[in-house]
Amino acid sequence: MDKPFFIAGPCVIESEALVMETAEKLKESSEDLRIELFFKSSYDKANRTSISGFRGPGLERGLEILARVKERFNLKILTDVHDMHDIPKVAEVVDVIQIPAFLSRQTDMLVLAGRTGKIVNIKKGQFMSPNEALKAIEKVKSVGGEVWITERGTTFGYNDLVVDFRNAVWLRGYGAKVVYDATHSLQRPGISEGSGGYRKLITHLARGAIAVGFDGIFSEVHPDPGKALSDASTQIPLKFYKNFVEMILEIWEASKKWYDFEFPD
C-alpha cells in the first residue's frame, strides 16, 4: 500500500499572516518527513452553527491568499465549496475541490466539481451509509472525475459523532482513495454557539485509522488552537504536527504488509 498522504491547515483563513505562518511550518515538516501534503483552509465557512460565527474572508480574497501559498511554498491546495457558482473560480487555484459533508448528496455540485479535472474530495455525510457514499462517488466518476471519500464520523445521538472503521475497508472497495478526518470526527457539533470536541482523542483514533488502512489523514492545524475562530476544540497545535505525522508513518510502516490479510467468508 502506498505511503499515506496528508491534508492539513487552519480550519478557516483568519488572516494572510496566520495562513503563511502555518503553511511555512507544514512545508518544512513535509520536506523533512518526505510526505505528500495538501494545504487546506476555507475561504468561507458557510455552514457555521451560529449566525455570528466567523466565516472567513470570502471567495476573492480567500483564493488570492491560497494562490500565494501555492506559489510561495509550492504546496498543493485543497479548499471546500458551499455554492456551485464558486466552483469554476476555485478550480483555477486549487488541486482538490472539497464537497462538505452536508452537501455530499448534491448531484449537480458533485458533477460540476468532477468536470473541472480536479480531484474531488467528498466529505461523507454524518447521515450516510457506505452504500450511500458509493452513489456520491459514482456521480463524480460519471463525468470522469478522480474522487476521494473522507470519513468524518456518523451522528450518534445528539451532539456526538462516532467513527466506524469498517468503512475504510468497504469504501476502498469502491475504487476511491479513502481519507480519515482526524479532527472533525471528534467534534461535538452544536453543543453551544459553536462546536466542541475531544482534542485529546485525536492521536488515539488516528493510530487506529492508519492501522486499518486509510489512504490519507485529514487534520486541521492552528498555531494557537485556543484562539482559533473556528473549531477551536479540535484543531491540532501546529508545534505538534510533525510529531503527529511521525507517529502515523511509524504505524503505517508496521502495518502495511498486513493490510490485505483477511479471513475468507
Domain that holds residue 187: 5-258
Eight-state DSSP code of residue 76: E
Q: How many CB atoms lie within 10 A of CB 171?
A: 24
CB atoms inside a 10 Å sphere around CB 122 = 28
Kindly provide the residue ranges of all beta strands, DSSP E only, lying in the chain, ordered along the sequence: 5-9, 37-40, 76-80, 96-99, 119-123, 147-151, 154-155, 161-162, 177-181, 187-188, 196-197, 216-222, 236-237
Q: What is the mean pLDDT of the chain?
A: 93
Residue 98: count other Cβ atoms within 10 Å of its Cβ.
Answer: 25
Residue found by looking up cell 463524480 in the block: 140
Q: Which three cell numbers stand for residue 102?
A: 452536508
The enclosing domain of 117 has a CATH number of 3.20.20.70
* Residue for grid cell 505525522: 245
Q: Which cell numbers hold the place of 237?
A: 497545535
Mean pLDDT value of segment 227-233? 91
- When divided into structural domains, the chain yields a total of 1
- d(C-alpha 2, C-alpha 4), whole Å: 6
Per the domain annotation, does 113 fall within a domain?
yes
Q: Is the residue at 264 inside a domain?
A: no
Q: Convert the pLDDT of each residue in 92-106 to its tens digit.
A: 999 999 999 999 999
Q: Is residue 265, in this structure, part of any structural domain at all?
A: no
Residue 238 in domain: yes
Helix and strand totals (H; E) in the chain: 8, 13
Structure confidence by residue, pLDDT tens digits, 167-216: 999 998 888 999 999 999 998 876 555 567 889 999 999 999 999 999 99
CB distance 8 to 17 below 8 Å: no
State residue 47's pLDDT score: 77
Provide the sign of the torsion angle of the four alpha carbons 128, 129, 132, 133, taken in this order. positive
Residue 53 covered by a domain: yes
Residue matched to cell numbers 510561495 = 72
Give the pLDDT confidence of 52-110 residue by residue, as tens digits: 778 889 999 999 999 999 999 999 999 999 999 999 999 999 999 999 999 999 999 99
Q: Which residues pair with 122 in a beta bridge?
A: 99, 149
Establish if 91 belongs to a structural domain: yes
Where are any strands of DSSP class E within 152-195? 154-155, 161-162, 177-181, 187-188
Domain membership of residue 263 (yes or no) is no
**Cut 0.75: pTM above it:** yes
174 within a domain of the structure (yes/no): yes
Q: What is the pLDDT of residues 31-53, one digit of tens each?
A: 999 999 999 999 998 877 777 77
